[in-house]
Chains A and B, each alone.
Chain A
Amino acid sequence: MSLERIKIAPEMYEIMPPEYQDLVKNATYGNENRGWKDIGTSKELIEEHSLCAGCPESMAFRYILASLPAPEDTVMVGSTGCTSLVFPHVGIHNIHSLFGNQNAIATGLKRALTVRFPGRIKDVVVLAGDGATVDIGLDMTLQAWFRQEKFTTICFDNELYANTGGQESGLMQKGFVAKMAPVGKTFEKVRLPEIARESGCHYVVNCTVSKPNLIEKVIKNAIHIAREIGPTYLQLYTPCILEIGKNSMEGLQEMRDSEKPTERFAYREYISDQAKELLTEMAAKEKERKAEAKRQLASVKA
């Protein structure tokens, strides 16, 4: 979005809701250096949410929204599930249409924005749960990757259907007893990160959301690579504390336990050669930008 569009006409200022005034004055649209450290010092793009107390998904949402490289030109696509309780509160355009069709929606959206705004950045980011991504929507998830659609897919993996009350999902661990898996899930957790790599994703990460700086890095990498090269996939463990019998203070520890080197959410990443080149270029540019800023600061002081 042109930043101008978000501003309030002076005559209308007083009648706008305080949270919108706050969004205009104190959010970080247009700030190239935005990141998770803005949380607490600037207006977040998530107003509030109705997730359960202590839900790691709410942490993930906040880190992701704080890390989007260009929220003023980003449109997000959600799906049915706990994420759809949060999106209505988010200060960037977002679409919910059906359950599981998020990567098909994002395909049409990205192409429309490319046709309508040639030469301009318009990032599209999908954010959906594991039921939407891996079960009901798997066909559309994979086909978007096969076609090399240029957007990022983020899966909030809580290893079950949380919003409907904790039923078995494809990303659930084998043996876990849940609704619709009364004697325990009989097959292994679907290996979507590996499938993503084989399906043409240029950047794939499997991790938890315990570390905000890590989430900032992978979100920025994923979006920049999707913008320039092709599809990227992030699978983020956001445990449903309610359905795995934890209390509201235990989400963070659950993620830390699950990211140990031998555990299923130990940090894993895949970067294609083309994406590696891009990240190297971006790092060099960033280094140069910082050096230039230092030089300018020194010259001002001198």
Chain B
Amino acid sequence: MATQSSVGEKNKAGQTITDPWQMMHDAERTPCFFTGSEVIKEALRRANCDIMIAYPITPQSEAAALAGELFAEGFIGDYFRGESEFAVMSQCAGAAFGGARVFTTTAGPGTMRAMENFPMWAGARLPIQMIVTCRGINSPLSIQPDTLEISYLLNTGMLVWHAETAQDFYDWILKGYMVSEEPDVHLPLALCCDGFFVTHTKDMVSLTPADMCLPPYDPYRSPVPCMDMECPPVRMMRDPFIMKSNYISYATHASWQQEVWAAVERSRKHTVRWLDGLIEVENPGAEILLVSSGTAVSQGREAKVLLEEEGIDVGIVKIKSLRPWPGEEIREATKNAKHIIVPEFNVTGWMAREIKATIPNSERVYAGPRVCGGMTLPPEIIAADIKTLLGIKNKALAGRGS
């Protein structure tokens, strides 16, 4: 089957199809002051996307509606509002089965409502990109920032990345397609950010030229047949495995699950190349390391400044990719650390558990500070916890009684 090599040609919107590496690394960038939602729109404008399917839920509604404007302007092949997140994720699956490049956005309860779809996406090897603008999923009703939903995505077989800034978001939406559409990967990507903190705040973001776009998705590079009757129909099996309770059936299901996770592993080399590593380390020699993902890292950076003013040396490890998980990188980055502080925006501390399961001498991990339910995570709290850990007396913080 011929693949589509179209660099240099124009797409339907009149953009020049550009080599993705050149577009992301060499093309001139323009600084803009945008909200995260606007950044999602601008990345999607350059993604040569076939179909975007939307559903309103805070805090992603604005981005999903802005994507509709792109459709009206001719930058997306088709766009519509589905009837629920479960339906939307199935509609995304249908479109991806049919060979389209697919984009969608969701948040919090929407992610949970759609959950049954995600292992199906991974098992069917559909390279859909889903933006997750994380928010609370607890009852009573909450719309505030909270990253608990990410933990539910970690075992779906999807790639899961966690953006810290709007700039991450912009670059990773475009780079995400390049990783997830690789034939040896071909998996969906959940590109997460912390709702409101990233979506509803303005930041300086450097954009690639608007007249350049990614090459179109080529569904015939997929490791499984595209369901468009443009390749021969094959009889899939003589006896459907669903009806069999025997070793061959179990082995078939087991080997396919293993293959999905092997594909997650194979994405590692592409992710390292496109994201310049799965983690970023600042001040690697420090005995105290703040390790986390998303805007918890941003708050950690502020805490680092506060602590440095008091002569306390702190390093930062920013985890960019959660699946594939940067186990080796984290072990290397933390090998000399005496204290590993893991600030998080969720009640259970799933990130701290992941890190504890990764490194030797996990008693070095301090699982906190954690906030949830929409609370902010002031750098002063992080700094205070570190000082307490070091046996240094803190000045009183409002409401902390210390």
Contact = CB atoms under 8 A, between A and B. Distances in A.
Interface of A: 1-2, 5-6, 17, 19-20, 47-48, 50, 72-75, 77, 84-85, 88-95, 97-98, 101, 104-117, 122, 139-140, 143, 147
Interface of B: 50-51, 53, 77-78, 80, 82-84, 86-88, 90-100, 102, 116-117, 120, 124, 225, 227-240, 242-243
Contacts of B117: 97-98, 101
Contacts of A147: 80
B231 A112 contact: no
B111 to A, nearest CB: 16
B38 to A, nearest CB: 25
Contacts of B232: 1, 5-6, 20
Contacts of B243: 50, 85
Contact of B90 (A5, A89, A98): A98
B342 to A, nearest CB: 35
Task: Give the dominant DSSP class at B's interface.
Answer: loop
Q: What 9 pairs between A and B have smallest CB-CB spacing?
A: A108-B94, A112-B98, A108-B95, A104-B90, A112-B100, A101-B90, A115-B77, A105-B94, A1-B229
A116 B94 contact: no
Nearest to A17: B235
A143 B96 CA distance: 20
B44 to A, nearest CB: 15
A93 B232 CA distance: 8
Contact of A108 (B90, B225, B234): B90
B51 A115 contact: yes
Given A91-B235, A104-B91, A143-B83, A109 B98 contact: yes
B292 to A, nearest CB: 34
A75 B99 CA distance: 12
Contact of B229 (A17, A73, A107): A73
9 contacts: A75-B228, A84-B240, A95-B97, A98-B117, A101-B87, A104-B94, A105-B97, A112-B51, A115-B50
Contacts of A112: 50-51, 78, 94-100, 102
Nearest to B126: A97
Given A93-B233, A147-B80, 9 more contacts: A5-B231, A17-B235, A72-B229, A75-B98, A89-B235, A94-B227, A95-B97, A108-B97, A112-B98
Contacts of A140: 83, 87, 90
Contacts of B99: 112-113, 116
B96 A6 contact: no
A1 B231 CA distance: 7
Nearest to A108: B94
Contacts of B100: 108, 111-112, 115-116
A1 B235 CA distance: 16
A20 B232 CA distance: 10
B230 A1 contact: yes
Nearest to A45: B233
Nearest to A113: B98
